[in-house]
């Protein structure tokens, strides 16, 4: 939005580092010393932090007249109220269905609470001036609730530097550092939440290493407790030598990891949102192996990825097919990169952002 010439006041949590963006002023909630991290998905910590974020937003909204209130995820719950109170158009940036999040993260199956979130979601959508969704599944979900709300689907394109610019010596250094100098890297990046299919990937590794022992499953992401859980599992199965759990890494390290990888995997087993990693995978121009579920197939097809059933045997077969067929691997990589450049480049992202801002403000 700043690149489009707008002045932005960004209200966010006290956590994290400030990023210097021209025309953007960051307003943080009061520091709570006992909250040092925040997990992906629903949590009681977020409930407390969101209360402080609402108070901070009220303070900012009282300072001057704004043209638009742009909220993301559960901030939309109080954003809808503040938009009405301050008579400002409300743009809801919908990155997931929040009732579905409760189930995906196994936070609760308590039906009354899920129904409350469903009501809140419907209320926000019906009262919004405009709506952003990030994938076809969410677009369809939102239109079922209210198809008259102005809407643009803006995919979560990769924001880290393009891995094409990474130097070969940096790739070799990365491989050596992680014990993969002469090995084939099967790379996963993302959270270790249940719906991501990490169990499926670990189970598939047993079949992969039976066929070839020069493989390293490189796992980037996951909280320390989650990484330890899976490290214990691979140790028990005698697979420790074939796994590297890297933990959460700085964003600037991701391009090097992507360029070093031989196969990029997304073993997700549930959910409908397109994983953010898919756009980074496409831009990397490397072969992708993913489960044949709508969460993937709304973006991926057989021209750009090996799509497999969500079983250990099928996932292993997909990984091995890419490792053993160089022509297949290179062809998939070329088509993946082409798909990204045509449909998910930054210029298209900016144009879609410009369109939805104009739609939202027009509804004043």
- Give yes or no: residues 350 and 264 share one domain: no
Q: For residue 2, is it within any domain?
A: no
Mean pLDDT of 129-152: 94
**What total number of domains does the chain contain?**
2
CB atoms within 10 A of CB 252: 9
Q: Is residue 246 part of a domain?
A: yes
The three-point CA angle 345-11-76 to 5° equals 75
Is the same domain home to 201 and 302?
yes
Residues 187, 53 within the same domain: no
Specify whether 89 is located in the same domain as 132: yes
The string of pLDDT tens digits covering residues 147-191 is 999 999 999 886 778 898 899 999 999 999 999 999 999 999 999
Euclidean distance between CA atoms 147 and 122, whole angstroms? 12
pLDDT digits (tens, 9 = 90+) for 274-284: 998 999 999 99
Q: Report the pLDDT value the prediction gives residue 339, as an integer from 0 to 100.
A: 97
Phi, psi of 130 (to 5 degrees): -160, 165
Phi, psi dihedrals of residue 310, rounded to the nearest 5° = -80, 60
Give φ, ψ of 317 to 5 degrees. -60, -40
Task: Please report, for residues 19, 92, 130, 218, 358, the alpha-carbon distance to residue 69 in angstroms, rounded to integers and kept in the order given.
Answer: 21, 8, 11, 40, 13
pLDDT of residue 18: 85
The span from the CA of 122 to the CA of 132, in Å, is 14
CATH number assigned to the domain comprising residue 179: 3.40.50.2000
pLDDT at 83: 97
The answer to whether residues 62 and 144 belong to one domain is yes
Residue 160, SS3? coil
Nearest of 236, 294, 245, 239 to residue 266 by alpha carbon: 294
Q: Is residue 304 part of a domain?
A: yes
> Is 267 part of any domain?
yes
Collapsed DSSP state (helix, strand, coil) of residue 108: coil
Q: CB within 8 A of 241, min separation 6: which ones?
A: none
Q: Judge whether residue 104 has pLDDT over 70.
A: no
Find all residues with CB under 8 Å of 356, minimum gap 6, and list them: 91, 130, 132, 150, 151, 152, 154
Q: Please state, in angstroms and rounded to a whole number, the distance separating the CA atoms of residues 7 and 106.
A: 39
What mean pLDDT do residues 36-44 have? 80
**Two tokens, residue 80:** 């809808």
Read off φ and ψ for residue 311, nearest 5 degrees: -125, 155
Is the domain of 283 the same as that of 334?
A: yes
Residues 260 and 350 in one domain: no
Residue 113 binned pLDDT confidence (cut-offs 50, 70, 90): confident
**pLDDT classification of 363: cutoffs 50, 70, 90:** confident
Residue 70 pLDDT: 98
Residue ranges making up the domain that contains 192: 163-343
* 3 within a domain of the structure (yes/no): no
Within this chain, do residues 335 and 353 fall inside the same structural domain, yes or no?
Answer: no
How high is the pLDDT of residue 40?
74
Helix (H, G, I), strand (E, B) or coil at 180: coil
Q: How far is the C-alpha of 258 from the C-alpha of 335, rounded, in Å?
A: 16
Q: Is residue 98 part of a domain?
A: yes
Q: What is the DSSP string of 24-82?
A: EEEEEPPP-TT-----SS--HHHHHHHHHHHHHHHHHHTTS--S-EEEETTHHHHHHHH
Tell me: the pLDDT tens digits for 240-259? 999 999 999 988 899 999 99
**Pair (223, 284) in one structural domain:** yes
- pLDDT bucket at 108, cuts 50 / 70 / 90: low
Answer whether 305's CB lies under 8 Å from 290's CB.
yes
Contact in structure between 270 and 103 (CB atoms under 8 Å): no
Residue 258 to residue 336: CA distance in whole angstroms:
13
Contacts with 194 (C-beta within 8 Å, 6 or more apart), sequence order: 104, 105, 106, 270
Structural domain contains residue 1: no
Q: What is the dihedral of CA 94, 98, 99, 101, to 10 degrees?
A: 120
Average pLDDT, the chain: 93
225 in the same domain as 203: yes
Same domain? For 122 and 218 the reply is no
């Amino acid at each position: 939005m700043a690149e489009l010439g707008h002045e932005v006041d960004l209200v966010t949590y006290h956590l994290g580092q400030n990023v210097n963006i021209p025309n953007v002023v960051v307003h943080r909630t009061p520091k709570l010393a006992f909250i040092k991290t925040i997990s992906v998905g629903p949590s009681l910590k977020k409930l407390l932090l969101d209360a402080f974020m609402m108070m901070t937003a009220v303070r900012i909204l009282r300072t001057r007249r704004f043209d638009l209130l742009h909220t993301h995820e559960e901030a939309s719950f109080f954003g809808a109220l503040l938009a009405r109170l301050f008579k400002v158009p409300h743009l809801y940036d919908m990155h997931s269905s929040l009732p579905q999040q409760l189930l995906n993260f196994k936070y609760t199956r308590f039906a009354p609470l899920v129904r409350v979130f469903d009501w809140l979601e419907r209320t926000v959508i019906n009262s919004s001036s405009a709506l952003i969704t990030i994938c076809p599944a969410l677009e369809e979900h939102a239109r079922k609730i209210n198809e008259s709300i102005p809407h643009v689907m803006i995919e979560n394109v990769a924001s880290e530097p393009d891995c094409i610019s990474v130097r070969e010596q940096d790739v070799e250094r990365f491989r050596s550092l992680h014990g993969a100098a002469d090995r084939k890297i099967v790379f996963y990046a993302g959270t270790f939440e249940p719906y991501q299919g990490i169990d499926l990937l670990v189970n598939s590794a047993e079949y992969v290493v039976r066929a070839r022992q020069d493989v390293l499953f490189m796992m980037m992401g996951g909280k320390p407790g989650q990484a330890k859980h899976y490290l214990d599992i691979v140790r028990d199965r005698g697979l420790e030598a074939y796994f590297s759990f890297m933990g959460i890494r700085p964003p600037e390290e991701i391009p090097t990891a992507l360029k070093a990888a031989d196969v990029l995997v997304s073993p997700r087993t549930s959910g409908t949102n397109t994983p953010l990693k898919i756009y980074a995978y496409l831009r990397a121009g490397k072969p992708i192996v993913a489960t044949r579920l709508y969460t993937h197939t709304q973006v991926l097809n057989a021209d750009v990825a090996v799509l497999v059933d969500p079983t250990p045997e099928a996932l292993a077969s997909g990984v091995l097919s890419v490792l053993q067929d160089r022509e297949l691997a290179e062809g998939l990589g070329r088509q993946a990169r082409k798909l990204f450049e045509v449909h998910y480049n930054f210029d298209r992202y900016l144009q879609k952002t410009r369109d939805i801002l104009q739609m939202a403000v027009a509804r004043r």
